[in-house]
Each structure stands twice: as C-alpha cells, then as structure tokens.
Structure 1
Amino acid sequence: MADNRCPTKLESKSKSVQEVVRNSEEPPGKYFYEAGVNGVLDSSLPVLEIPVIDTSRLTSPSTSREEVEKLRSALISCDCFMSINHGVTGSFLDPIRLVTTQFFAFPMEEKMKYSREVDTPEGYGNDLILSKDQILDWTDRLYHKVSPEDQR
C-alpha cells in the first residue's frame, strides 16, 4: 500500500485563489471533489449539523457541566463548533474585519512577504498539503498566533 503523505515535497507555489478569480481562470483540479469521494456530494449521507455552544453557560455553576459535555462531544465528533453568547462585540470585531479586508486587497507581492513557511500553518497561504491526493479548500488564509504573546 502506497503512502501518499509527503508534507514538504508537495508544497507548491501555485496561484492564490484571488489570482485565479481575478484572471477568470478555471480553478486547478486539486480544488475539485468527485461525487462520492470522501462523502462529499454524496446525497445519501446525512448532513452534519455544526454543534452550537453557548459560551456564557460555561461559566455558570448551574449549566457549565452540561455545556462542557456538549463542547467535549462537539470536538470529538465534529472537530468544530459555533460559539454563541461569547461576549465578543461588533466594536471589537470591526477593526479586525477592516484590517483583514485591507490585507487581502494588497497586491500579491506585498501579501507574499507574509507567506507561511513549509510545515507551519502560520502566515499567508492556503492549505498545508499533506497528500498528493488531497483536495484543497477554495480559500486563501492569513493565520497568526496572537496568544500567548511570546509565540506571536
């Protein structure tokens, strides 16, 4: 059985999603799922509902145990969740959205100054490529650690 994993060898300097869209190009094949592969586009499979975690309930003595169990279950079964009542205000998020919009509007040369390095998710780029058969997400990312401060 062949091992398709090859993290550093498969890193590519392919065009970003923004470049492909701006040039009205057809997306590369690595962004296409085939019907029935990995359960994607297979209508016979149930649609996964993303669990909703009420973050405010995590700090309440009367509801925290139940909400922690929901969170644990969500992370085990789904690897993700939607957080509500988290206390993050629009006035906090607005400047973050503005800076994000400004960054992605930069010319490619400027964004590439912040490219992520091979084998790390941090920086500008797209999916880490872990397999030659991997289907990639149709997205460009900017990922930076902000906490703890000594890891920025």
Structure 2
Amino acid sequence: MADNLFPTKIESKSKSVQELVMNNEEPPGNYFYEDGVNGVLDSSLPVLEMPVIDISRLTSPSTSREEVEKLHSALISCGCFMSINHGITGVFLDQVRSVTAQFFALPMEDKLKYSRAVDSTEGYGNDMILSEDQILDWTDRLYLILSPEDQRQFKFWPEKPEIF
C-alpha cells in the first residue's frame, strides 16, 4: 500500500547537464520553461526577501517559540531560509565549497562511479524524472544521506578528492 504514495518514474535517467555541454548537444525540451509557465518571474510581482532564521534563538527557552513560528512561516511562504548563528565556521564552509568544486571538476567517468540508482535520490546525477511534463533543473548534484548515520550508503561517497 505504501508504494501507491509515490508516483511511478517515467524515465530512468537523463544525461547530466555537463554531458550535454561536453557532447555539444541541445538540451531536451524539459529543461526549458515556456513563457509565463513554471517559474518565469513576472516583473509586476513584488520580490520576496529571503527570511533569516537565527539558529541560536531556536535553543533558547525565551526566544525559541518565536523563532520556530518564524521558521514555520518562512518554509510555508518561501520554502527556504537563510540561517545565521548556526555555529559552522567560515573556514569549514570554505573547505566544503572547495571539496565540492573539486568533485564536480572531476572527469565524468569518475563522477559516474557514484551515480544514483533509478529509484533513489542518493548519489550523483540530476533530477529524478517523475512526470513527462516535469521541468528539469540545469544542475547536476551529489546527494548524500548524512543522518541517521546507520543509513549512510558509502558506495555513493566519492574517494576523490581524498579529503572528501
């Protein structure tokens, strides 16, 4: 019965954006938004500011309720937010950016070793195609489960760069 909760995939995989570029191929139509459909900005509409959530306020008994309500509102209205006071150092974030850039700069054959399975989001690849009408993102991604630790699938964790 749980299988009915998720739509059936239409297509198993599509080429990565990098593969299309390297092969000098035109991207398929499902990479394009039609005028006025799916995400084309209407310049007459106001632009929303990115909500900012102070993570340190979430742990304080005196401010947590207010910040949780702000977080809830941000996720309902925008679907995303910028976090501050999260405790992650700038040095660490710079290292994550560097390692990420090194991974995506690897030759395609190296990245394809970590390709996601057809029925999974985890691994290297692009959008999971769930509908013939789905508009795809112009991105390739590496999606890894970090938590809970017992669900990590290290077969998707790159060996290069070594620091990964």
TM-score range, shorter chain: 0.7 to 0.9
Correspondences of 1:1-150 after superposition (within 5 Å): 7-14=8-15, 16-23=16-23, 25-150=25-150
Q: Which amino acid aligns with 1:13?
A: S
Q: Which amino acid aligns with 1:18?
A: Q
Task: Mark the CA change 1:55 to 1:134 in structure 2 (over 3 Å): closer, same or farther.
Answer: same
Shift, 1:6, TM fit: 5.9
Q: Which amino acid aligns with 1:149?
A: E
Distance in 2 of aligned mates of 1:131 and 1:45: 29
Identity over the aligned pairs, expressed in percent?
Answer: 76
Residue ranges of structure 2 left out of the alignment (5+ in a row): 1-5, 153-164
Conserved 8 A contact 2:11-2:129: yes
Distance in 2 of aligned mates of 1:109 and 1:69: 46
Deviation per residue, 1:94-114 (Å, 9 max, x gap): 332222122111111111110
Shift, 1:22, TM fit: 4.0
Distance in 2 of aligned mates of 1:99 and 1:145: 17
Distance in 2 of aligned mates of 1:150 and 1:73: 32
Q: Which amino acid aligns with 1:118?
A: V
Conserved 8 A contact 1:52-1:83: yes
Conserved 8 A contact 1:123-1:142: yes
Shift, 1:11, TM fit: 2.5
Shift, 1:23, TM fit: 4.8
Give the RMSD, CA atoms, in angstroms.
Answer: 2.1
Conserved 8 A contact 1:7-1:129: no
Deviation per residue, 1:27-86 (Å, 9 max, x gap): 332111111113523334433333211111112222211111001112223222111121
Q: Which amino acid aligns with 1:131?
A: S
Q: Which amino acid aligns with 1:101?
A: A
Residue ranges of structure 1 left out of the alignment (5+ in a row): none
Conserved 8 A contact 1:74-1:81: yes
